[in-house]
């Protein structure tokens, strides 16, 4: 009996792993050239492609910001960009990497955001994540974090894994936030196809200390460099009915490595959050009148004591000055990046 069970288990496991292998084979998480997956959105010549077509610089100056968008919309998938942020005085500057369908559904759009918020000279960039579903803009689901590195020295990967059951935000392969879909979220969980966007813009009204510090154009242009663009999703055009292609792709997304939260990944996420999470809507008891959003569960209670009742961390402070990395390390970091100059040689760039 036990032997039969074991044999059945082995067969079942083999089937599962074969399914996973077959499914995974259909999802390619390697970076695509800009032209293959994206097109300019706004900003004219403030969007500059690298000579090899694999990287893009987005600039913000007095005239305009800039941005690009994926050519396709996707129904779930994994989307990543390696971004190097402008340094020096960047108060009010917002660099965003996000999914949205606001152009198709202006009244009930879905959105999944990474927003990188600039700061005054010597103060750290902060990262904000957020989601909206079906126009739930009155229920912001923000979290804010400090970064464990200086994001202006080299590229770091910011990624979103979006499946029918969860959304996971990653920085450099470390999960930093997991939003698990629960029935009570209803339409608030993003569920319609979205396009992938990257933009730089003037967020003077709110980005830095609630709008206290505005963009200072004496420091313009502000340039954010994007590379290693990954579009690993189910193109919306395939449709869920379309010969099973959509359903197969959804399975591929749900079984892919980026979607599976192993115990090791959960531990890494907890570590990151203990050290870098500044604010989370999930511990904010003031904002929504004493209630918390339905997906917020701190099952093991490991985070609760670390937060004030308005959601701000007691452990992590945004008044800390500068980056913790000593200067020496920063220099080594720069060298390790291949001696690449911090600004591209302008002569070799071409704006299309
Ligand atoms: C999404 O919004 C539309 C329009 O407001 C509404 O008709 C629909 O029922 C909503 N869907 C969900 C799942 O809440
Ligand atoms: C907030 O909670 C108070 C006390 O429970 C209640 O009287 C009030 O109507 C609530 N306000 C909203 C906007 O839900």
Highest mean pLDDT among 144-153, 298-307, 318-327, 331-340: 144-153
For the segment 22-37, the average pLDDT, to the nearest whole number, is 81
Domains, the chain, ranges and CATH? 28-341 (2.60.120.200)
| Among the ranges given (71-75, 169-173, 337-341), the one the predictor scored with the smallest mean pLDDT | 337-341
For residue 108, give the ligand nearest its CA.
1
H/E run at residue 156:
strand 156-162
Q: Is the pLDDT of residue 328 over 90?
A: no
For the segment 234-248, the average pLDDT, to the nearest whole number, is 69
Q: Is the pLDDT of residue 299 over 90?
A: no
Confidence (pTM): 0.84
Please tell me the total number of residues recorded for the chain in this structure.
352
What is the DSSP secondary structure assignment for residue 270, as one 8-state letter?
H
Largest CA distance in the chain: 78
Q: Best substitution site from 187, 188, 189 to test ligand 1's pocket, by max atoms within 8 Å of Cβ?
A: 187
- C-alpha separations of 42 from 39, 59, 85, 235, 248 in Å: 10, 11, 19, 23, 35
Q: Is the pLDDT of residue 1 over 90?
A: no
Angle, alpha carbons 131-25-23 (nearest 5°): 65
For the segment 32-55, the average pLDDT, to the nearest whole number, is 97
| Among the ranges given (167-176, 190-199, 302-311), the one the predictor scored with the smallest mean pLDDT | 302-311
Q: What is the distance, to the nearest Å, from the Cα of residue 308 to the centroid of all Cα atoms in its chain? A: 25
Asked if residues 73 and 235 have their Cβ atoms less than 8 Å apart, the reply is yes
Q: pLDDT tens-digit profile of 118-135?
A: 999 989 999 999 999 999
Q: Is the pLDDT of residue 105 over 90?
A: yes
pLDDT score for 332: 40
Residue bearing the CA closest to ligand 1, atom 5: 108
240 CA from centroid of ligand 1 (Å)? 19
> 225: pLDDT confidence band, cut at 50, 70 and 90?
very high
Residue 115 a catalytic site member: yes
- C-alpha separations of 130 from 75, 197, 246, 281, 334 in Å: 18, 14, 26, 10, 31
> 166: pLDDT confidence band, cut at 50, 70 and 90?
very high
For the segment 216-237, the average pLDDT, to the nearest whole number, is 95
| Among the ranges given (171-185, 315-329, 336-350), the one the predictor scored with the smallest mean pLDDT | 336-350
Q: pLDDT tens-digit profile of 249-259?
A: 889 999 999 99
20 CA from centroid of ligand 1 (Å)? 33
């Amino acid at each position: 009996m036990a032997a039969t069970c074991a044999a059945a288990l082995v067969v079942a496991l083999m089937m599962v792993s074969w399914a996973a292998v077959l499914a995974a084979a259909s999802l390619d998480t390697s970076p695509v050239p800009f032209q293959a997956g994206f097109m300019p959105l706004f900003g004219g010549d403030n969007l500059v492609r690298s000579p090899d077509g694999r990287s893009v610089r987005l600039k913000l100056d007095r005239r305009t910001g800039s941005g690009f968008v994926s050519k396709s919309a996707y129904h779930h998938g994994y989307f990543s960009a390696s971004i190097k942020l402008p340094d020096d005085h960047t108060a009010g500057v917002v660099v965003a990497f996000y999914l949205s369908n606001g152009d198709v559904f202006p009244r009930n759009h879905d959105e999944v955001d990474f927003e990188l918020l600039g700061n005054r000279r010597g103060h750290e960039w902060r990262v904000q994540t957020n989601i909206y579903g079906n126009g739930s803009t009155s229920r912001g689901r923000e979290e804010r974090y400090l970064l464990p590195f200086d994001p202006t020295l080299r590229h770091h990967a910011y990624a979103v894994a979006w499946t029918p059951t969860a959304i996971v935000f990653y920085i450099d392969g470390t999960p930093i936030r997991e939003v698990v879909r629960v029935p009570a979220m209803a339409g608030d969980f993003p569920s319609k196809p979205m396009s992938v966007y990257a933009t730089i813009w003037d967020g003077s009204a709110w980005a830095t200390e609630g709008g206290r510090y505005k963009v200072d154009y004496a420091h313009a242009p502000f340039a954010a460099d994007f590379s290693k663009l990954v579009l690993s999703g189910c193109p919306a055009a395939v449709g869920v009915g379309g010969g099973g292609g959509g359903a197969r792709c959804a399975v591929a997304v749900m079984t892919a490595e980026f979607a599976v939260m192993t115990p090791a990944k959960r531990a890494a996420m907890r570590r990151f959050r203990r050290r870098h999470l500044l604010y989370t809507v999930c511990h904010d008891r003031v904002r929504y009148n004493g209630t918390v959003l339905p997906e917020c569960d701190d099952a093991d209670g490991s985070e609760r004591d670390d937060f004030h009742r308005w959601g701000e961390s007691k452990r992590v402070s945004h008044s800390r000055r500068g980056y913790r990395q000593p200067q020496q390390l920063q220099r080594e970091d720069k060298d390790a990046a291949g001696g690449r100059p911090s600004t591209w040689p302008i002569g070799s760039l071409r704006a299309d």
